[in-house]
Amino acid sequence: MTNVRTQYREAYAPRTISKALLRALVEALVDFKPGLPTTSRKIRARAISAGKTTDLEGRESWKATDPHSLAELEHVRVELLLMSAEHRRCELHVEFRSGHISLGVSDETGWGKSVFEDALSLLSSLGISSKGLNERLRRAYGLLDIFQNVLLMLSVAVFAVWLTGKGISYLYACLALFIAGVIPAMTRSFHFFSPPKRAPIIQETVAKSRNFPWAEATAVVSFLAGVLQLVKALVAIVW
């Protein structure tokens, strides 16, 4: 009988994690879903940098990064292999690259959906996945980046209205919308003339503020403040 293989996948924005967090992930996967009727389970980790690949298996496999310079790491992969009595397998893997973090499950056992959902929860509890406030800020900022020219033109139009003697709310709205539009524009220009360095995949320790998107947060908050001031001004006209 042909085995039916089901795939599940989730991708996250890239971020730098600490070696302690990588260790916590490996140790959590060693005891992951102990209630499954597995005949065997294997945990493996692979680290790849320029011209070097290291593979380790077991609870200490998180040390696969030790022979590498952390600044040169290109790819780190942690994999859990679960085998059923029918010699079918369920493979869970978490990959760290400079462009993304991904979670994948490849399943022949029927456990795939449950394994995938619990793995999502595990990554969230460890703080590895970027779902949450940071991800929402980055997505909102992506829209501001697309409409940066519209925001700048709108800020000029609101400023022109304020010059006619309208209330201070128009000035506040103008400034906020200008900031929301100019941050993406300046960021693009800066990256054009000075391309950003590739953020490391893993470091010995990571400052808590390192992965917070400050520029994105500033632009989004400014946009919301500008919209709020415009609404306030319009309400004042109506009433």
69-94 pLDDT, tens digit per residue, is 988 899 999 999 999 988 899 999 99
What integer best gives the mean pLDDT of the chain? 88
> Is 95 a residue whose pLDDT tops 90?
yes
Within 10 angstroms of residue 43's Cβ, the number of other Cβ atoms is 24
Specify the higher pLDDT residue, 15 or 113.
Answer: 113
Helix (H) / strand (E) element for 77: namely strand 73-83
Q: What pLDDT sits at residue 135? A: 72
User: Please, which pLDDT band fits residue 1 given cuts at 50, 70 and 90?
Assistant: very low
The domain defined by 6-126 folds into: Alpha-D-Glucose-1,6-Bisphosphate; Chain A, domain 4 (3.30.530)
110-160 pLDDT, tens digit per residue, is 999 999 999 999 998 888 876 667 777 878 888 898 999 999 999 999 999
* Chain center to CA of 142: 13
Q: What percent of the chain has pLDDT over 70?
A: 94
Report domain extents, the chain.
6-126, 133-238
Closest CA to 79 of 100, 49, 53, 58: 58
Helix (H) / strand (E) element for 17: namely strand 17-18
CA distance 170 to 237: 12
User: How confident is the model over 179-191, as a mean pLDDT?
Assistant: 87
Is-contact 206 17, C-beta < 8 A?
A: yes
Distances (CA, A) of 204 to 19, 21, 25, 155: 5, 10, 15, 44
Is-contact 175 166, C-beta < 8 A?
A: no
**Which value, to the nearest 10 degrees, does the dihedral of the CA atoms of residues 76, 82, 88, 89 take?**
-20
Of 86-90, 211-215, 230-234, the range with the lowest mean pLDDT is 211-215
Within 10 angstroms of residue 237's Cβ, the number of other Cβ atoms is 8
CA distance 41 to 52: 27
Annotate 87-145 with DSSP letters as a single string.
S-EEEEEEEEESS-EEEEEEESSS-HHHHHHHHHHHHHHHT-S-TTHHHHHHHHHHHHH
Is-contact 159 169, C-beta < 8 A?
A: no
Question: For 92, phi and psi rounded to 5 degrees?
Answer: -115, 130
Q: What pLDDT sits at residue 50? A: 86
